[in-house]
Copies of this chain bind each other. A is one copy, B any other.
């Protein structure tokens, strides 16, 4: 049978600094990491998705209220310039996530202002960039994000991320990675915040062609599709007062003192 659904609107956000500053990165990602990531999503979701990209140096980092209101899922990759993302834009993205916009955070995005704000922890970890082989293992085979993903997913050369990864306990742990050096990392984690769904996926350093990897692109596409909210309205959770017996209509907060 056939089902009609509206296109999944995805905004792929990339810092786009390494590509301009480091030649070896520009060679791997000539159109920018964000473009490569967007292509991976399109490859997997086809006509079901409507893509746009945005970068740090765009006005308002390309993330105006208008853009966010028209975004079902935002993906985020940043590394060298987390501090340059304006607090105002971060607050805006945060509001949209709590209101129902999905968020997929990639690799060094673990230290982005928006991810740290949503987690409430330091989001630190151990690391090493020495071409470890990473094996991404599925620990929840029933999860939609694991669909069609090999067990293990093999990445020949990657930056090592190791525990203790200072995040809150994930709502769902989908993937755990090992590295040739012996470290492990909770590499695929989901979180709910307000009405929004968040997926963090660690593989993907600027020094390696990870976002060209067929299976990594599959995971990101799965994550983007999963992160879309079911509800059509974009609405922040609100503090409302309800009379006894009244369950539907709440009244706005008048303040703490009588």
**Which residues of A line the B interface, CB within 8 A?**
1-7, 18, 21-22, 47-48, 79-80, 98, 100, 108, 111, 117-122, 124-128, 130, 132-133, 135, 137-142, 144, 147, 151-152, 154, 160, 162-166, 168-169, 171-173, 176-184, 186, 191-197, 229-231, 236-245, 247, 250, 256-258
Contacts and interface: CB of A to CB of B under 8 A. Distances in A.
Given A98-B166, A126-B240, A258-B22, A194 B245 contact: no
Contacts of A176: 163, 176, 184, 186
Contacts of A6: 1
Nearest to A132: B244
18 contacts: A1-B47, A1-B48, A2-B5, A3-B5, A22-B257, A98-B121, A111-B239, A122-B238, A124-B237, A127-B241, A135-B182, A138-B163, A168-B168, A176-B176, A176-B186, A178-B179, A181-B242, A181-B244
B184 A124 contact: no
Nearest to A193: B121
Contact of A247 (B118, B152, B197, B247): B152
Taking the full assembly, how many copies of this chain does it contain? 4
A14 to B, nearest CB: 14
Given A118-B120, A176-B176, A242-B127, A166 B80 contact: no
A257 to B, nearest CB: 6
B192 A169 contact: yes
A5 B3 CA distance: 7
A47 B2 CA distance: 9
Contact of A98 (B3, B122, B256): B122
Nearest to A162: B242
Given A142-B229, A182-B178, A193 B163 contact: no
Name the 4 nearest CB pairs between A and B, nearest first: A166-B237, A124-B239, A80-B256, A118-B120
Nearest to A145: B230
Contact of A169 (B130, B132, B171, B258): B171
A77 B223 CA distance: 34
Contacts of A127: 239-242
B142 A195 contact: yes
